[in-house]
Amino acid sequence: MTKTLCTTVLATAMLTTGLHAQSGRTATKQEKRFLPPGMIINPTRGSATLGAPREAFFSEDFSGGSIPAGWTNVDDLTPSGDDPVFFEWSNDPGAVEVASGSYANLVGTFNAPGASDGYIWANSDRGLGAAPATEHLTRLTMPSVDCSGQTSVMLTMTSTIGVFDNDASEFVKIRVSTDLETWQDFFPFPCLVAGSPVQPCSRFSDNPTDVMVDLTPAAAGQSTVYIQFEWQGGWEYYWAIDDVQLAPLPDNDLRMNLGFVSTIGDGTEYGRIPTSQLPASLNVGAELLNFGLTEHTNIEMSCEITNSSGGEVLTSVALIPSLTSQASIVTDENPAIDALSTGLYTAEFTVVSDQIALDMNPDDNTRLRTFEVTENLYALDNLGNHPEGLEVTSQTGSGSFENNTENVKLLTMYHLLTPTAVTGVQIALGSATDPGSRIVVSVLDTADVLATPPVVNNPVSGLESEFHVITQADIDAGVIGISFPGAVTLQPNAYYVVASLYADGEANVYIQDDLTVPQPALASALWIPFDTDNIFFYGGNGNAWAIRLSSDPTIGMIENSDLQGVSMYPNPTEGLLRITTSENVMHTMEVINLLGDVVHTERFGNTTVVDLEGLAHGVYTVRISDGSKSTAQRIALH
C-alpha cells in the first residue's frame, strides 16, 4: 500500500465532450454533445445532519398547458417572412427530436424529470437545410418578481441546450432588470462554444443539466425584478427549460463536481490499462465548488483506490485551508503507486470540512471511478466496468453521416509508455450494426493525423488489417477481434488506433462510444469524406470509441485448420458447450477470455460438455490441442 499526503494546486478541470456529425442534412453541420461530467455517481450515504435548503419564493413548472400568462415571447432579429424562433410549450419530451439530428438517442428526448408535465423549448434548428441569412434574437421575459426581502437570490432550472454558430458563453444569457431598460447579464453556460471546443468546454450541455445562477448582485433586495431568457443564434440546435425557481442561496453546499484518475496526467482516463503501461504514479484529483453562503474551512479531499477484494492500494489526501462562497478549486496530485495486479479497481473520492455535517446535499460529497488493469488490452472506454446503472453509451458508424457510408474513420489515441508488441484491435459493435458491413483496422502516427491536412492513409508498417466482414455471430457476440498480419513492436509514443468503416449497400457498421467519463478533446477523433472534393478531420469527436489496442496473440483467432474435425455447439451458448473431435485421443481444452486469461481448462477424449455458466457473459476463445496440432474458435456466452 502507498499512502501519500499532498497539498493542493490549482489546475484546469479535466472535462471534455464528444462531437458527431449529423445525417439528414445536406450541409456539413456537426453535432457535439455534452458528456456527463466527471461526477459519475451519487452513492448512498449514511445519515447526516443536513443544512436546510432555502425554500423557493418563486417557481414555475410549466404544467399549465401553455407559456405562462404574462410571459412575453419575442424574436427581435428574424426578418418578417423568415422562420422566427420563439419559445413554445410542450408536454412531449420527444418533441425536441426534430432539432437533434442523427443522435436522437442522446438529445432527441428532453430528459428533465418533469418534462412530461410540461416544459418550454426554442427550436433554433427549425428544420432548415442551411444556416439562415439572419440570426434570431429570442427573448422570453418573466413578469416582475418581488425580491425585496431577499439578501441573496439563486435561479435554478433544469435545461438542455446545443449550439453550432454562436458560443453560448456569449450569446445565451439570463438577464435581470428592475425597469426593463437596463439589464445585467449572467451566463448560465459559460463553457458551451461553437467550432471545435477543447476541454473543459463542449457544444451541447448535459441532458438534462441543473443550472444554478447567483443573481444576488442584480436582484437581492429589489422589489421589482424582471428575468429574461435570451438566445441569439443562427442555426443552432434547441434550448429546453423546465422547473424554474428563485430561492435564497443555501447556507452550506460544498460540492464535488468531478473526480479523476489518469495514468498520463493530461486528463485521459483509460478504462483498461495493461500492466506494461502503468506509470510509477497516478494523477488523481477532484473539482470542488462552495455554492453555499458559508465559508468552508479545513477541507480534506481524499482519494482511496481499492482492488476488487476491497483491499486498499492507495490513499491520496489534499488539504485546502478554506473555500469562500462561490469559489472553486481543483486538487491535482501525483501519488506514487505500487505495482498493480490484473483486476478491477475502484477510486472513491470524498470531501469533508469543518462544516460538512451541515451540507445541504451530502450525496455530492463523494464520487467514484473504476478502471481495470489487464494483461494485454488497452482501452479508452470502460464499458461493462462502470458502477451499475451509471453507464452512458452511444454508437456511431457508417450510417451516421449523410452520403458518407464508405471509409468513415473513428480514431482512438493510445499513449505507450514502454515498447509494446501489438497484434490486433478489439471493437465493441453498436447494436445497429448489420451483417455484411466491413471494418479495416490500422495504427497511425499521431504526427500524421494531427498534421495540416491530416494524413490518414499512412499506417505504421505491418499494422493494417484485411477487411473484416461483419457476420451475425459478430453482432450476437457484440465484441470482435481483428488481427494484424503479425505482431509489430511500437516504441513509446502516442498512436491513433483506427477503425475504417464501410457499408455494403444498406448494411451499416456502428461502434460503441462510452460517454460515461469525459475525455480530452483529441482522445477520440473522426475523419470523414463529406464529398469527393472535401475531406474533414474533427478532433474530439467521440468521447471514448470502443476501439481497443491488443497485444493478445489470439486476437481475431476464429479457427486454426491445423487440427481438423473439431466442432463446438451451440454458439452462442447460455452455458453448456459440447465439443466433439474426430480423433479418439486425449485433447486439452482451454477457455480464454478477451484479456488473454485462461479461465477454464480440462482434458478429454473425443467429446465433452463444458459448463461455462459461472463465467461472465461475453466472448471467449476456446482452444483445442492434441499435443501436436491445435485449433481455436470464438464462442459467445449469453
- pLDDT of 45 reads 22
Question: 566 and 579 in contact (C-beta within 8 Å)?
Answer: yes
- pLDDT of 631 reads 84
Which of 501, 497, 484 is CA-nearest to residue 412? 497
Please say whether the dihedral angle defined by the alpha carbons of residues 401, 403, 405 and 409, taken in this order, is positive or negative.
Answer: negative
- Coil, strand or helix: which one is 238? strand
Please say whether the dihedral angle defined by the alpha carbons of residues 548, 550, 552 and 555, taken in this order, is positive or negative.
Answer: positive
Question: 405 and 399 in contact (C-beta within 8 Å)?
Answer: yes
- pLDDT of 609 reads 94
Q: Give, for 219, the enclosing helix (H) or strand (E).
A: helix 216-219
- pLDDT of 51 reads 39
CA distance 629 to 95: 61
- pLDDT of 346 reads 96
Question: CB-based contacts of 240: which residues, under 8 Å, 6+ apart?
Answer: 96, 110, 112, 115, 119, 120, 121, 159, 160, 161, 208
- pLDDT of 387 reads 85
Q: What is the DSSP string of 547-611?
A: EEEE--TTTT----TTS-SEEEESSSBSSEEEEEESS-S-EEEEEE-TTS-EEEEEEESSEEEEE
* Domains in the chain, CATH or no CATH each: 2-15+252-378 (2.60.40.2550), 54-247 (2.60.120.260), 393-550 (2.60.120), 566-637 (2.60.40.3080)
- pLDDT of 232 reads 97
Cα separation values, 410 from 219, 242, 392, 403, 465, Å = 48, 36, 19, 17, 15
Which of 585, 321, 638 is CA-nearest to residue 479? 638
Would you call 52 exposed, middle or buried from its count of C-beta atoms within 10 A (0-12, 13-18, 19+)?
Answer: exposed
Task: Kindly report the length of the chain.
Answer: 638
CA distance 603 to 601: 7
CA distance 633 to 580: 13
- pLDDT of 212 reads 87
Each residue of 516-558: pLDDT tens digit?
Answer: 888 887 899 888 876 444 455 666 667 899 999 999 877 876 5
CA 9 centroid distance within chain: 26
* Spans of the chain below 50 pLDDT: 1-53, 531-534, 559-561
pTM score? 0.71
